């Protein structure tokens, strides 16, 4: 598992996009219910931490920080956007 710097950044961008989209889906399904959104975000964080601990030596520390740090905030932002889109569709 050797990745170039560009590949690492591409993986981070893909992870950020996936976090936003998964948050948007959660926000639309949960209709903006904060408990569901934060539970989902914390569950994903809890599932990713052991994976990153296991991979700690294979990736630079900054990679783990840049993946795990924004995970919950990106899901929450995505959920707000998803809930907003869902409300917009209901009014149309």
pLDDT digits (tens, 9 = 90+) for 11-41: 999 999 999 999 999 998 998 899 999 999 9
Q: Is residue 9 part of a domain?
A: no
pLDDT of residue 27: 92
Q: With a cut of 70, say whether residue 78 has pLDDT above it.
A: yes
pLDDT of residue 83: 81
Q: Is residue 42 part of a domain?
A: yes
Number of domains in the chain: 1
> Positive or negative, the Cα torsion across 35, 31, 74, 51?
positive
Residue whose pair of structure tokens reads 């964080």 in the numeric block:
45
Q: Is residue 1 part of a domain?
A: no
> Positive or negative, the Cα torsion across 37, 39, 42, 48?
negative
Q: Is residue 10 part of a domain?
A: no
Residues 14 and 16: their CA atoms lie apart, in Å, by: 5
Q: With a cut of 70, say whether residue 88 has pLDDT above it.
A: no
Q: Is residue 88 part of a domain?
A: yes
Q: With a cut of 60, say whether residue 86 has pLDDT above it.
A: no
Q: Is residue 24 part of a domain?
A: no
Range of the domain at 56: 31-92
CB atoms within 10 A of CB 14: 10
Tell me the three state secondary structure of residue 65: helix
């Amino acid at each position: 598992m050797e990745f170039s710097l560009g590949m690492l950044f591409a993986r981070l961008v893909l992870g950020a996009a996936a976090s936003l989209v998964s948050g948007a889906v959660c926000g639309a399904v949960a209709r903006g219910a904060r408990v569901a959104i934060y539970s989902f975000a914390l569950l994903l964080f809890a599932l990713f931490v052991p994976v990153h601990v296991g991979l700690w030596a294979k990736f630079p520390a900054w990679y783990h920080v840049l993946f795990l740090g924004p995970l919950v905030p990106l899901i929450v932002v995505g959920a707000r956007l998803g809930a907003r889109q869902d409300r917009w569709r209901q009014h149309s």
